[in-house]
Amino acid sequence: MYLKDSKTVVVKIGSSLLIDKDQKIRVKWLSEFAKDIKNLKNLKKNIIIVSSGAIALGCKKLKLSKKNLKLDKSQAVASIGQIELMNLFKEFFSPKKINLSQILLTLEDTEKRRRAINAKRTFENLFNLGFVPIVNENDSIATSEIKYGDNDRLASRVAQISGADCLILLSDVEGLYTKNPKINKEAILIKEISTIDDKIEKIATKSISEHGTGGMKTKIDAAKVCQLSGCHMAIANGLVHRPIQKILSDNNCTWFLPNISKLDARKKWIISSISPKGDVIIDDGALNALRKGKSLLAAGIKTVRGNFNKGDHIKILDKNMNEFARGLSSFTSAEISKIKGQHSNTISSLLGYVSKSEVIHKDDMVRI
């Protein structure tokens, strides 16, 4: 089963799962959800939670109505509610000894390659430390022009940049049905979808979900991102207690299957840059190390050409100027000029600040 076989799992929850219509915290649901996350941790999985609720909790604290809340005021309300949201998770997760961190993202953080790499590294370090990141859109600074607008799309981008194997969108229905299950008893749950064609799009447009008409459409948009990222995605009922456990035991949900493998998706993402910004020419020792799947270190670099920034796409050439690989640089061209040919333990003193040891990490490299 896809969830069982996944190493890194992203779980998206909407504000309606945290707070009911009377603005009361769904205490029992949160307590049971914490058990779900603890169980996934016990199964040695890396977990990311993408959670809505900052504005809703801010409104609750300020005794405001969410309706007719203007953008500039909603930004302030989100800032207040964000602390409430993290305190809420901490209250229910701490007794289960689940360590939490917080990551606030804007659209540019996942769309710009350099920022996406930084976000990926942060997720990896948090996993290594045993923490569960709680991710939300940074509503306190995001404007209408640079917003995702919904956490379904945000969750799919988080799954993409973190290299997740599985994204679970917890909704108020079991998944995508052939017809609207709330008004049609003949509706059948579609268990697996490998291709999102016009028929699926049409069904999604006519479906009703937690956001009203069109809510399922954002989930289909998220599924498209996942399919191109080599990531499985599920739409499942989040209103039940222990929703993750229900997926593991009953698998009563809709799974969207990836079109390509995660490795191919990663390579495609790296190689898809329009034009490399520069080159590094390496010696035979570095060439042999790269052939064995190692990262590129400063010691093996003979020459750097071009003017590029951290995160830019560059070529790796051998001493005969043949292109061997391409990758995303962890340093600027100016920094590489200072550290080329030097051992990793001298980089900090040469640059005057602490930095990574790999000029191009093996995960950010594709052989030509």
Residue 122 to residue 162: CA distance in whole angstroms = 9
* DSSP notation for 59-83: HHHHT--STT--HHHHHHHHHHHHH
CB 54 within 8 A of CB 275: no
Q: Which of 318, 352, 358, 310 is nearest to 334 (CA)?
A: 310
Task: Note whether 167 and 83 are within 8 A (CB).
Answer: no
**82 in Cβ contact with 104 (< 8 Å):** yes
What is the C-alpha separation between 208 and 47, in angstroms, rounded? 28
pLDDT at 140: 65
* DSSP letter (8 states) at residue 219: H
List per-residue pLDDT tens for the chain, 368 residues long. Answer: 799 999 999 999 988 899 988 888 999 999 999 999 999 999 999 999 999 888 889 988 998 887 777 767 888 888 999 999 999 999 999 999 999 999 998 877 776 777 888 899 899 999 999 999 999 988 666 555 445 667 898 999 999 989 999 999 998 888 999 987 778 888 899 999 999 998 898 888 765 544 333 478 889 989 998 998 899 999 999 999 999 999 999 999 999 999 888 777 777 777 655 578 899 999 999 999 999 999 999 999 999 999 999 888 899 999 999 999 999 899 999 999 999 999 999 999 999 988 889 999 998 898 88
Three-state secondary structure call for residue 96: helix
List 301's β-bridge partners, or say none: 282
Cα–Cα distance measured from residue 147 to residue 141, given in angstroms and rounded to the nearest whole number: 10
Instruction: Classify each residue of 5-36 as buried b or exposed e, where b means 16 or more C-beta atoms within 10 Å of its C-beta.
Output: ebebbbbbbbbbbbbeeeeebbeebbebbbeb
Alpha helices in the chain (DSSP H): 15-18, 27-42, 54-62, 71-93, 107-111, 113-128, 151-162, 198-206, 215-227, 243-250, 262-271, 284-291, 333-339, 347-351
Residue 73 vs residues 143, 185, 367: alpha-carbon distances, Å: 12, 43, 50
pTM of the model: 0.76
Say if domain 8-267 classifies as CATH 3.40.1160.10: yes
Query: In the chain, what is the straight-line distance between the N-terminal and C-terminal CA atoms, in Å?
Result: 34
Structure tokens at 58: 């801010």
Which two tokens mark 259?
């079109």
Is CATH 2.120.10.10 the right assignment for the domain spanning 273-367? no
Domain ranges of the chain: 8-267, 273-367
Contact of 111 with 101, CB cutoff 8 Å: no
